[in-house]
Amino acid sequence: NAGVTQTPKFRILKIGQSMTLQCTQDMNHNYMYWYRQDPGMGLKLIYYSVGAGITDKGEVPNGYNVSRSTTEDFPLRLELAAPSQTSVYFCASGTLLNYGYTFGSGTRLTVV
């Protein structure tokens, strides 16, 4: 079982560049999430989705976009990278009945 797979694991972007962080889960979970974690801080919700075709903003959505065309995939798009987006990004998935949400291994992004 792959669980939640995030790619890439590391990335360095220049200011103004764009990129997409990929997230795929093979557990048929309806709910998927993107969090960011800054050093020494908890996780902040960026966007989430309760099913294919449905997305919603979390606490810190500015500068990001998402789509959910399939149950399995929930990519996160950064259009114009800024140094404030330097962080570790975690994708997670779950269901209402799930005993805890499953997290991907994270993507460490640095914007210079």
The residue count of the chain comes to 112
- Select the residue interacting with another protein from 19, 27, 43, 52 (CB under 8 A): 43
* Angle CA 44–48–50, to nearest 5: 145
Q: Using the rule CB under 8 A, is 60 a contact of another protein?
A: no
Q: Report strand pairing: 10-13 vs 4-7.
A: unpaired
- Select the residue interacting with another protein from 2, 14, 40, 62 (CB under 8 A): 40
Residue closest to 84 by CA, chosen among 59, 105, 63, 65: 63
Q: Which is nearer to another protein, 11 or 44 (CB)?
A: 44
Q: What is the contact surface with another protein in residues (CB under 8 A)?
A: 31, 33, 35, 40-45, 48, 50, 56, 58, 90, 92, 95-96, 99-106
